[in-house]
Amino acid sequence: MNIKDYATGIQHLGIPTKDMAETLLFYQELGFDLELSTDNDATGQKVNFLKLGNLVIEAYDSEDAAMCYGGIEHVAINVTDIEAVYDFICSRGLNTLEDEIHFLPFWENGVRFFTIEGPNKEKVEFSQYM
């Protein structure tokens, strides 16, 4: 198996924010459209997805937002089979955060995802639209 068999590209970049209104205004000024505005019931965070062409930004409320360069919290890779990718990542010892597959009721049918940590403390999320 190869991840390339299931990955279709970047799904979104995750940016935590302490000021959602300012974040939305900034990206909308840059030409992004607000595609989805919702709440993460598990955390109580407001979550907004903004889109410009094929670039999607997930902005979400977080008191822990770094507020410094390098503040992008994660990059999400779109996959077509989350279970196959999860099994592959675990079999290679790459599930460094010992994460499990999660579900969020975002978009029309929800999304399933899990996250690992890269060698520079970057988070890499594997995500599948349902």
> What average pLDDT does this structure show over 98-115?
95
Q: What pLDDT score does 125 carry?
A: 96
Residue 84 confidence class, pLDDT cut points 50, 70, 90: very high
49 and 57 Cβ atoms separated by less than 8 Å: yes
Q: What pLDDT score does 54 carry?
A: 93
Q: What pLDDT score does 35 carry?
A: 97
Question: How open is the CA angle 23-40-8, to the nearest 5 degrees?
Answer: 80
Residue 1 confidence class, pLDDT cut points 50, 70, 90: confident
Domains of the chain by start residue, with CATH: 3-129 (3.10.180.10)
Burial class of residue 108 in the structure, from the number of CB atoms within 10 Å of its CB (0-12 exposed, 13-18 middle, 19+ buried): exposed
Single pTM value for the model: 0.87
Q: Tell me what percent of the chain is helix, strand and coil, each rounded to the nearest 5.
A: 20, 45, 40
Q: Give me the residue label for tokens 């209104």.
A: 21
Residue 81 confidence class, pLDDT cut points 50, 70, 90: very high
> Is residue 120 predicted with pLDDT exceeding 80?
no
| pLDDT tens track for 8-54 | 999 999 999 999 999 999 999 999 999 999 998 888 889 999 999 99
127 and 56 Cβ atoms separated by less than 8 Å: no
